[in-house]
Every structure is written in C-alpha cells, then in structure tokens.
Structure 1
C-alpha cells in the first residue's frame, strides 16, 4: 500500500442518494495503463511464454498477469459499479539485497454518502459499491490524471536487475514455479487487496491523527475510517474508535497487542493453526521453555516433532556490520560446528546468514529479530542451503542466549551442559491470534510506515495473503480455511 494518500474527495449524501443501489452483481475491474511507449506494459522485449502466460513480450506478460489477478478479485467481490485501477511500472526503492516490489492504495476517500455510516471514511471502490453510484463520475481532473480512479498501483520496473534485488525479477507465470524470482501473481493479488480497502485508511499511524472532514489535514478531531471499527487494543482495553490520537499512536507500535474483532473474520479464525513453538530443554532451572517461531522460504521445510540440536551463539559483530553477514571466524566456527547457531537479524539477508553458518558447520540456524514484535518470516532464496532455519522474536532471542549460558554448569567434567532445541506446537494458542482467538494486526516497534496496522501479523499460520511479506505457500483462495482476506473485506462492507 502507499505510505500516504495523494488525493481526498468529499461528496454530499444528497448527490449519492439520487440513485438507488440496485441488485448486487459480480464486480467489474477495468485496468488503465499509464505507461509510456516502450515501458512497463508496453515493453516490447521478446520473451518466451511461461507458466501458463502466453505473452510473447515482457509488456504482454505483465498485462496478462494483471488481468488474471483482476479476474480473481472480480469473482470474489460484488458491486454494481465498475472498479477502475490505474497501473504503471516505475523505478521504486531498491538495493542489491532488498526492494520495494510495488504498492497500491485507494486514490479517493469518501464520507457521508448514501449507504455508508455517517462521519466515517471509506475507500472509493467500497463507497461506490455501498452507494450504488460512481461518486467521482464527472469530476474535473485535478492535474494528477487520477481524478476518477478507484485504486492506483505501481510496481518496480527494475526488479532483478543489478542493484535491485539482483537476479530475482518478477516471475510472470501463473503456476507458482517462481524459483529465485518474485511471484507477481501473489504480489499483485496482495496489493489490490490494499486498494480495495485492506488498509487503515485515514489514520496517520506515526501520530494517531485522522484526516479532517474537509480532507485538508491530519487532526486530532478528524473522522475515523470504517477500518477502525474492528480494531481492539488488548493492552489499552479500547477500540481505536474510542482512542485519542496519542493512544492510537501507541497502539500502532504495540507488538502482538492489536486484534481484529469483525464478525466475518472471527467466524473464520478457526483456520489458524496451533502456534508452532521452538521447545528448548535444559537441566538448568528455569532455562527450558517454548517460543513461537517463524519459518524461512529457503532451506528444507520444518515441521512439528523435528529435532534441531544443541544451541550456540557467536560473537557480537563489529560496529556497522551485521552478525553472521561474513564468513565465520575460527572461534565462531568452533562454537557452532555441529550445533544450531543463534544469529541476530540485520544488515544482510537471512539466506546470507544461514549460508555462512552452514559453511561453518552449523546444523541449523535461529534468526532472532532485532526489533520488538513477533518472529519474522524469513524471505530470500539460496538453493544451496540444506540446514533448517527458523526465527524467534527479539525478546525470545535474549532468553535463548540466557538459556545457553545457564546450561553450561549442568554438564560433566569433560563436557559443558547445553540447551537443546526441537520443534513442536502449542494447541492452547492459535498462531497469529490473541488469547480470545482474534487475529492480530501487524504492529511492530519501531513503526513501519505504510505497513504497520494495515496487514495481518507475521505470526499467523498458515501464512495469509495480507501479511507484510509475500510467502511462497500462498494461493488464489481468499476465504477460510485458506485465507482471511475476503472475511475482513466483508466486515468493512464488501
């Protein structure tokens, strides 16, 4: 989703009330390309058909995927009003090891129209559906070129080129065989979800302020969005509707503390699995425990019941360097050989850390988060990694290292005591939900602008489409028992 909303429009309830909503029907999505000749959808570079995509130029294949994903969303939604999506390919932020894949957001926001709740912001596509009319029809262009657009999207035209996630371009096939590439089908499916309303909308998460009724500023007395109705902070014991700006600001960085309470999502939340846990055993009093873990997109798959081995740590990195980002020293190699290396997140890619540990003789890797929040999903690709890799939260990484230290005296004369890890599950907790079984929103600390609050938390299992990372096991099904995207949109009014 976009970090800011570029344009905000208002329309009175009187105008919208002139037309009835009519009978619901499957949605129609129209795609507008804004790419110039030779760029993006118009790129004439010859390519071979791939994975069910028959296009013979790069531009044709990009548009084929776009139409394919739009068709998935058309079947999932109902609306009498055409949904207009403006799409383009452009240079977005990227480095050799990371990149912004793309973004999408509602272009216009509306309040006080027929069919909507009074004093509440809605994204245009949903506002049009509820009112039964195109609320921006006939409005003059404001110079942006997007006056009548419901959703604006953009994707990284340089992905996979040197200096932009090198060697990992968008995969334009439809069969999911993306290998070292990035699955464009799932990326686009995710981004259009934001454009349709899977976003906090009118709240500036860095301040907790809302867009004012006239659309001019973020203010303490701004109007709430429909999204806020179903956000409940377990620490504050309040819905976002009843919070001050300062309370919303704090809630946006309350890891694992913000739950979704919409009835359609709650009805389907039973699809969430028992929480996967890293089970640590030690003879040291208080050193044993269970810790939720995340999985990696590289290396062998992991599962409950799998043993990992004895845990080990490595030295702290030099200033400005990332732990595990370079070949291990002799001392670190000796420490992790035949053991599971605990390595802090940061500076270089997850797969780089795992490969360096593997080269040093480690039999597994645990990546500890470097910010507060849940264990992160571990993206990346390296087909030469053969050892299992999982992740834990920052706080649990500290506990694991303490367990290693506490275990040393509980060995024998010739062999120090160790803490060992294995993978299990905790059936008393659903992965990605609070104690009441309500799915959690993504609220890491520090804030991730444009991402915090507008995604499911990364602790969800199975992986969900609208988490902040695109996982390799996603599909096209948007409802339980596969996903919770459509139930959330239904909570909003779709």
Structure 2
C-alpha cells in the first residue's frame, strides 16, 4: 500500500451534467504497463512455465499473474465503469534480508460528485462506480503518463537477486506452491485491495490531519473526511474518526487493539473469526499463572489448540548481535535444552531466532514483541525449522519472564520450579475483534508508516488478506467464511 499523498483531482457539482448512472455489472479492469523496453512486463528473459502460468518469458509471466488477479477482482466487484490500473516494475528499497515488495494506491481522490456523501473523499475507482462515469475522462495528464488512472502499482523488479531479499523472488505460479519465494498472486491481490479503497489514504495517520477540499495538502483543521472514517470506532475514545479532532485521530492510530470497524457488512460477517487462541501459563508461584493472546509463524509446524509446549526458559540479552540472532553459547544452550525459549524480537529475522534456538536443543520458541501492541505475526521462511514458534506482546513477554523467575523458588528435591506453557482458546472472544465482536484495525504503537490503520489487525484468526503481512494460508475467496475484504469494500459503497 502507498500511504504517501501523491495527487488528488476533484470536481464539484459541475460534473452533474456529465454523470449518467448505468446498470451495475461485473467490473472490467484494464492494466496499463509503464515499463520501458526490456524491463518488467517487457523482460525477454526465457523462463519455463510454472505452477499454472504458461508464460515463457519473465515479462509474460508477470503480466499473466496481473491478469489472473485482475480477473478475481472483476468477479468480486460491480461497476459499469472500467477500472484502470497503471503498473510498473521498478527498483525499490531492499537489503539481502528485507525488501519493499511493492505498493498500490488510488491515484486520484474525489469529493462532492453525484452519488457521493457530501464533503467526503472517495478513491477514484469507487467514485466512478457511484457516479456512473469516469470522473477523470478528458482531464489533461499531469505529465506522468498515468495522471488519470484509478490505481497505480509498483513492484520490486530486483526481488530475489543478490542483495535484495536474496534467494526469495516473486513466485509467479498460480498454484500457491511458492516455497522460499514470495507469493505474487496474494501480494498483488492484497495491493489491488488497497487501490480499490481498503485504505484511509486521505488522512495522514502520523498527525491525524485530513486533506483539504482543494486536494493540495494535509491540514490540521478544515480538511474533508474519508468515506472510511464513519466506520472506524475507537473503543477508548468512544467515537468514530468522523467525529474526532486531528489530535484524537493521531492517538487512535496508535491505540493497540482499540480501533474497530463497525460497518454493517463486516460486522455481519465477523462470525467467521475463530475463538481467540490463548497461551496458557502454569506456574507454581502465586499469581504467576495466566492466559495470553499469541500470534503464529509462517514457518515451522502449525500450532493447534490443546497442544502442550513445555517448560519456559530465557537466554541472556545481547545488545551487540540481537537476542537469539547468533548461535547460542554453552550457558544459553544449557538453559533452553528441552524447553521453550522466550526471545525478544529485533535485529534479525524470526526464522533465524527459531533456528538458533532449535540448534541449541529448544523444543519451541516464543518471540516477545519489542514494541507496544498485539502479538505480531511472524513472517519468514525456513523449511529446516521443525519446532513450533509463536509470538506474544511486549507486555506479555515481561509477564512470561516474571513467571519463569518466580517459579524457580518452588521446585522440589533441589530442582528449580518451572513455568510451563500450553495452547488453548477463549471461546468468549473472537480473534481479531473487540468485545462486541467487531473486527479490529491494525494500530500498533509506535506507528508503522504505510501499514497502520489501513489493515486488519494481526490478531485475526483465520489470517485475512488485508492484514499487513501476507500469510501462506490465504486464498482467492474474498468473502466470509474465508475473508472480510469484500464486506469492507461493500460498506464503503462497492
């Protein structure tokens, strides 16, 4: 998703005479390439067909996936106005172990057109649908070549090359067998969801400022709300973003597990969310037993309710390399052998920490977040990790370590007492929803630019397409009981 404000185009009541409303139908999506010769969609590098993708050049395979995903969205939407997506493959920020995969955003925003709520920003594809006409038709281009499109996308042309998430390129098959690669089908499906409107893009989440009516700047007062804001309810403030000040919206954007989506279509489908998974800790020390929410990993064996993980152990802090990021020394190996290692997040990948703990004899790993907010989803790949790995929040990580320390005095026959962990569920709460069963938006503290607010929270179970991480178990179904993407878009007016 692209959160940086790029361009807005607006027209008011003068468009009324131009806007004839037709009969809704399945959408039509047109893909425009902005790649130069030999690059991106035009890359002539020979490749073998893979996973249902018949293309024989790299460029052909990339376009095949774009068309494949566009077809999924066409069937999911109703609009009699063509949706135009401008696409390019470009060099984006990356290192050997991390990379910006890509982004997508509505390129133009509109307000006060026929069929809209007065004084409210809409992304162009949705605005066109509601108006029944292409609102940017006939407008001069801004010099970019894509100034009038509905959605602009870009993806990392270097992904998988040396120095750019080395060895993990986009997988261009359509069968989901992406191995150590990055599933481009799901990545693109997710990003086009942002471009279609799954985003609060007319609000600057770092300040709470809205875009002014002229479409020229974010302003502290007097800006217009997004169509999103009436459905964003902060349980702490007791109000929607529509009725907040800029300062209140800024605070709400970093209110972990506090911002719910109250749109009727999403709430009606929220019964698909599972009972909240719980990490249960048993300790012989008074007051140290408890239950905590946890997140899961994209690597290692699946974890299930009813599983016993084992006794907990900690390792030393490592301010040089990052805790768990290098091979364990003798003392840490002795501490975790046959136990579940509790390790702080940070410095290196989750799978790296899990593999080092596994090599030291641990039977499981719990990654404690290093910032306030919910237990994070643990991305990464390593087929050699065979022990379960889960995550907990920063606050709960502190409690786990307290339980480990307090338990040692309650041993028997000279052996230290132990705190042990098992997995269960809390049927009274739905994973990823508030106490009223309304799905939560992603609002970690500190703010994650480009991700906060415009995604579902990572605590949702099952994993949802529009969470900030692309999980390996996603599919192409956008409605309950598999997903909540289409219900949210329907709340907006799709």
Q: TM-score range by the shorter chain?
A: over 0.9
- The answer for the alignment partner of 1:205 in structure 2 is 205
Measured after TM superposition, the shift of residue 17 of structure 1 is 4.3
- The answer for the alignment partner of 1:180 in structure 2 is 180
- The answer for the alignment partner of 1:484 in structure 2 is 484
Give the conservation status (yes or no) of the 8 Å contact 2:19–2:114.
Answer: no
Superposed CA deviations along residues 243-289 of structure 1, whole A, max 9, x for unmatched, are 00000000000100000000000000000000111111111111111
What pairs with 1:455-494 in structure 2 (closer than 5 Å)?
A: 455-494=455-494
Three-state SS of the structure 2 residue aligned to 1:422 is: strand
Q: CA RMSD in A?
A: 0.8
Give the conservation status (yes or no) of the 8 Å contact 1:159–1:165.
Answer: yes
Q: CA–CA distance in 2 between the matches of 1:97 and 1:19?
A: 49
- In the alignment, does 2:81 pair up with 1:81? yes
Measured after TM superposition, the shift of residue 147 of structure 1 is 1.9
- The answer for the alignment partner of 2:285 in structure 1 is 284
- In the alignment, does 2:384 pair up with 1:384? yes
Give the conservation status (yes or no) of the 8 Å contact 1:282–1:288.
Answer: yes
Measured after TM superposition, the shift of residue 3 of structure 1 is 2.4
- The answer for the alignment partner of 1:404 in structure 2 is 404
Give the conservation status (yes or no) of the 8 Å contact 1:14–1:114.
Answer: no
- The answer for the alignment partner of 1:324 in structure 2 is 324
Q: CA–CA distance in 2 between the matches of 1:18 and 1:70?
A: 28
- The answer for the alignment partner of 2:195 in structure 1 is 195
Give the conservation status (yes or no) of the 8 Å contact 2:3–2:201.
Answer: no
Deviates more, 1:130-139 or 1:91-100: 91-100
Give the conservation status (yes or no) of the 8 Å contact 2:273–2:461.
Answer: yes
What pairs with 1:58-457 in structure 2 (closer than 5 Å)?
A: 58-219=58-219, 220-319=221-320, 321-457=321-457
Measured after TM superposition, the shift of residue 14 of structure 1 is 2.9
Q: 1:341 to 1:17 in 2, by over 3 A?
A: farther
Q: CA–CA distance in 1 between the matches of 2:288 and 2:311?
A: 13
Give the conservation status (yes or no) of the 8 Å contact 1:201–1:227.
Answer: no
Q: CA–CA distance in 2 between the matches of 1:16 and 1:227?
A: 24
Give the conservation status (yes or no) of the 8 Å contact 1:141–1:147.
Answer: yes
Three-state SS of the structure 1 residue aligned to 2:309 is: strand
Measured after TM superposition, the shift of residue 53 of structure 1 is 0.3
Q: Which runs of 5+ in 1 are unaligned?
A: none
Superposed CA deviations along residues 438-462 of structure 1, whole A, max 9, x for unmatched, are 0000001111111100000000000
Q: Which runs of 5+ in 2 are unaligned?
A: none
Deviates more, 1:157-166 or 1:468-477: 157-166
Give the conservation status (yes or no) of the 8 Å contact 1:202–1:210.
Answer: yes
TM-score, normalised with respect to structure 1: 0.99
Three-state SS of the structure 2 residue aligned to 1:358 is: helix
Q: CA–CA distance in 1 between the matches of 2:88 and 2:20?
A: 34
Three-state SS of the structure 2 residue aligned to 1:372 is: coil
Three-state SS of the structure 2 residue aligned to 1:61 is: helix
Give the conservation status (yes or no) of the 8 Å contact 1:16–1:135.
Answer: no
Q: CA–CA distance in 1 between the matches of 2:218 and 2:302?
A: 45
TM-score, normalised with respect to structure 2: 0.99
Measured after TM superposition, the shift of residue 329 of structure 1 is 1.3
Measured after TM superposition, the shift of residue 141 of structure 1 is 1.2
